[in-house]
Structure 1
Amino acid sequence: MLSIRTAPGSGATGRRNIKSRCILFSLLFFISSSGLNAAPGDSTITLTNAVQRALSQNPSLKVFPYRYAALQGQAETAGLRPAYELGFDAENVGGTGDFSGAGGAELTIALSSVIEMGDKRAARQGVISHSRSVLNASRQVESLALLGEVTRRYVDVLAAQEQVTLAGEAAQLASESLRIVKKRATAGATPEAEVKRAQAAAEQAKLALLSEQQRLAYLKVSLSALWGVTSPDFDKVEGDLFQFGEDVAFDLLYAKVEKNPAIEVFAVESRLKEAEIRLAQTQSSADISWSVGVRRLQETDDTALVAGFSMPLFSGKRNAGAVSTALAEKNQVLAERDVMLLDLHTQLFRAFHNRKQAIVAVKALRTAIIPALEQALVETQAAYQRGRYGYLDYVSARQELLSARRTQIEAAAAALTYGAEIEQLTAEPLALTQYGEDYTFSGTPQ
């Protein structure tokens, strides 16, 4: 019951801007369509509910609308043409001799601007457009990381619930053992010291139960913090800790790694660098400054038109360094992408094999080890009541069973956690039955 059902749903403005071709948001927008996915009540939450709340309320995602707004402002600035300037010049004013006063002044009023060469305006707009694509990809990476974290904390809570149940059963076993020891002591078949030890064991079991309850309370707070809530509004989470779904071959999983948004970021960053290269190349084309105006000669009371233009020389050579820098930055992005792919391969390999090992451990414990220990406890308890086994034999049999069941819970939680890591690395569901809920896969987010 931990898997996530995907289907189109409403979302924030930022989510609607995400490219529909990306697989990630087929995983992120979920709407429940069966009784398993619908929360049974206010005190119970499913993984689908947790993911939906985290995506809509997590503070780390709330910065993206502001980043989009900032890019929009930059886009408006990048689309502006060069400004016009109005200038006024006064010559031959306030001098000496014939040029004293303003009688011989030459007054000029002119309008000037710049003609951009090399299509600089389109290049600026291209950089902003690709910056928006980088921001989209970054938001997808953040959302996928959030999805993985929600799943991991959800599994932690689910495992903690099982540990609380186990601790409660351990406390009951300790109380039952105390009853049996007291009965034997009353019959004179065991010393009073064993009663004291059994009493101490029962109290320790109660303390262990309290500790697990406190740990569960903390983990619920940790989970609810992902959607900005400091006090959990649920009592339990729904899910089957011991259902793992079908195995998927490693090669098939790794083939999907290139679809991971973390890799997509490098692709869009590469396109951004190409846009920056084009922008740098446009700077090699010198802009032409022009002006046109009217000049009045006070001495002769005449007027005349004035015009002029100017452009820098050798701008291409002066801009070669900026072009080389932009090209080097693009090549650096491509190299970093290769490094990331190798790192993702290592992470996937570790998660894949650790998950398989955890599943093997759970199956061995469930089918062979725990049944044998349960039977051994029954027989040891019966033998202890008949006086054939000592108190230590009885306690050891009980502790071995509890330890095996605790190990089973930990292995099951590890299998689900590694499964969540695999899903985060591949940006796709690991298997249709991975967590016990059914998937409804939708390839086009809203």
Structure 2
Amino acid sequence: MFSNYVRPLGVALCLLITTGSIDASPADNTPLPAQSGNPGVNSSSRQTIEEPTGSLVLSQVLALALTQNPELSAFSWESRAQEAATLQAGLFPNPTFNANAANFGNKVITGFDGDVVTLELSQLIELGGKRTARMEAASLTKQLADWDYETKRADVLTQVTQAFVDVLAAQQRLALTQQIHELANQTTVTTSARVQAGKVSPVEETKAKLARASVQIELMRAQKELEAARKRLAAGWGSTTPRFEAVSGNLENIQVPASLDSLVQRLSKNPDLARWATEITQRQALITMEKSKAIPDVTATVGASKYLMPGDYALVVGFSMPLPVFDRNQGRIQEAEHRLTKAEEEYRGAEIRIATALNTAYQTLDAAHSEVMTLQQDILPGAQSAYDAAYEGYRLGKFGFLDVLDAQRTLFGAKNQYLLALAEYHKSVTNVERLVGSGMNETLANSQPEVSP
């Protein structure tokens, strides 16, 4: 009795297997890009990073950030995920296999002999260009993910460059503080000798020691600031325990900033702005996709019915489609159109925001450049000359200790301000370059300058 089921069931299964092999896309067996380096959930599978040592230059630090920064890595996986979504968008719907039996419970014809067994295969046929529209929208979404990665990449490079500048400035500030500490020690020794010789009051020695203690506090502060700056820099490549000894660069290599008008003309290279062309095109593609959904799809069916009692067959062919009477996807179409208008307004807002940010960053850069040049040409030489004259006069007994102390503080303050201005200049250059999406000046070389006393 059950052998009567075998023949039609076998025929339908063969049809199902044959149909599936024809409709399957060749890409189904192609590994996804993400499979080449699956992040997974097991952190032990991640590649161990060898911590850099020795003296680092900016190019090394940027290379480490590009390859090891965890936030940047996360954005790259999103790009791969969207690539997989694009692959999925191009696949055809699967066929449906259906089997049913009738005449159960018939009082005249009992058992399975009165059954009618029907085996069917159904295939959804998408109309209105749905698949093409879906693939186009997914492809543009993938491009947006690439733009997001590019934006994050620019942010990471900007942050790491500024952290590099902070370390470089902290190193030079520590070296300057150490030199001021040595000067304070020399002043204390000279003052002690003059007190023992009876040339000055012991109060002068007390003042010298207090001044040295104050410099010692500044020295400890400079050491702590350098350590904090080192850890911020190491965080750029995903490390919490930096092992590098120092960074090398030339803060004093400065150039006159380009004009603001020339920089404004380069704003289109900013990834935050450049992405909006893709964003608007993607929103238009979504409108097209939603409009395609208003066209109903057809489901085609082919199969066979087996009448067990007479032992006969019948071919079953049919189709079905929804009638677009009430739902013509009107709401989704209007939603997509409104989101396109929203994207256009956001683009205009981004243009204003980035242009304003560029103007602000440029003013900071121009002010830092002017401050550096003034300190370099006028204030530092004068402060150094005043200190040299005061120290020599104190050694010869022409000036009091307060004169030396005041000149020393003035010199230390001017040099510290100079370092701060240099760091602000380079960080401002980095901000401007981030906003215009390209380099303005090559300002950091691979050599460490000496800090003169």
Give the TM-score of the pair, scaled to structure 2: 0.82
In the TM superposition, residue 411 of structure 1 has moved relative to its aligned partner by 0.7
1:419-438: per-residue Cα shift (whole Å, max 9, x none)?
0101111111112x433469
What is residue 413 of structure 1 aligned with on the other side? 423
Q: Is the 8 A contact 1:260 1:427 kept in 2?
A: yes
Paired residue for 1:119, among 99, 115, 129?
A: 129
What is residue 5 of structure 1 aligned with on the other side? none
Paired residue for 1:392, among 402, 406, 409?
A: 402
In the TM superposition, residue 171 of structure 1 has moved relative to its aligned partner by 0.5
Paired residue for 1:177, among 167, 184, 187?
A: 187
Distance 2:234 2:203 in 1: 47
Q: Is the 8 A contact 1:246 1:434 kept in 2?
A: no
1:334 and 2:344 aligned: yes
In the TM superposition, residue 182 of structure 1 has moved relative to its aligned partner by 1.6
In the TM superposition, residue 91 of structure 1 has moved relative to its aligned partner by 2.5
Distance 1:88 1:46 in 2: 71
In the TM superposition, residue 189 of structure 1 has moved relative to its aligned partner by 2.7
Distance 1:108 1:436 in 2: 80
1:278-309: per-residue Cα shift (whole Å, max 9, x none)?
21111011001221222234455443222222
What is residue 243 of structure 1 aligned with on the other side? 253
What is residue 45 of structure 1 aligned with on the other side? 56
What is residue 423 of structure 1 aligned with on the other side? 433
Paired residue for 1:310, among 312, 320, 324?
A: 320
In the TM superposition, residue 65 of structure 1 has moved relative to its aligned partner by 4.6
In the TM superposition, residue 180 of structure 1 has moved relative to its aligned partner by 2.5
CA 1:319 to 1:144, structure 2 compared with 1: closer, same or farther past 3 Å? same
Paired residue for 1:84, among 92, 95, 119?
A: 95
Distance 2:66 2:58 in 1: 12
Q: Is the 8 A contact 1:344 1:425 kept in 2?
A: yes
Q: Is the 8 A contact 2:79 2:146 kept in 1?
A: no
Q: Is the 8 A contact 1:285 1:316 kept in 2?
A: no
What is residue 154 of structure 1 aligned with on the other side? 164
Distance 2:326 2:142 in 1: 29
Paired residue for 1:93, among 92, 104, 126?
A: 104
Letter in structure 1 aligned against 2:359: F
Q: How does 1:8-407 map to 2 (within 5 A)?
A: 43-95=54-106, 97-98=107-108, 101-102=111-112, 104-298=114-308, 300-314=310-324, 317-407=327-417
CA 1:215 to 1:287, structure 2 compared with 1: closer, same or farther past 3 Å? same
Distance 2:78 2:384 in 1: 59
Paired residue for 2:443, among 424, 434, 439?
A: 434
The range that moved more, 58-67 or 129-138, is: 58-67
Q: Residue 389 of structure 2: SS of its match in structure 1?
A: helix
In the TM superposition, residue 190 of structure 1 has moved relative to its aligned partner by 1.9
Distance 2:391 2:309 in 1: 126
Q: Residue 236 of structure 2: SS of its match in structure 1?
A: helix
Distance 2:274 2:312 in 1: 67
Letter in structure 2 aligned against 1:435: L
The range that moved more, 136-145 or 213-222, is: 213-222
The range that moved more, 418-427 or 327-336, is: 327-336
CA 1:315 to 1:124, structure 2 compared with 1: closer, same or farther past 3 Å? farther
Distance 1:428 1:156 in 2: 22
Distance 1:65 1:423 in 2: 23
Letter in structure 2 aligned against 1:399: R
Distance 2:241 2:116 in 1: 78
Q: Is the 8 A contact 1:383 1:389 kept in 2?
A: yes
In the TM superposition, residue 98 of structure 1 has moved relative to its aligned partner by 3.8
Q: Is the 8 A contact 1:117 1:285 kept in 2?
A: yes
Gaps of 5+ in 2: 1-32, 35-51, 448-453
Distance 1:211 1:340 in 2: 41
In the TM superposition, residue 203 of structure 1 has moved relative to its aligned partner by 2.7
Q: Is the 8 A contact 1:258 1:341 kept in 2?
A: no
Length, aligned pairs only: 398
Report the RMSD for the aligned CA atoms in angstroms: 2.3
Q: Is the 8 A contact 1:94 1:102 kept in 2?
A: no
CA 1:240 to 1:65, structure 2 compared with 1: closer, same or farther past 3 Å? closer
Q: Is the 8 A contact 1:118 1:282 kept in 2?
A: yes
In the TM superposition, residue 315 of structure 1 has moved relative to its aligned partner by 6.1
Q: Residue 286 of structure 1: SS of its match in structure 2?
A: coil
Distance 2:259 2:84 in 1: 47
Q: Is the 8 A contact 1:93 1:99 kept in 2?
A: no
Q: Is the 8 A contact 1:68 1:132 kept in 2?
A: yes
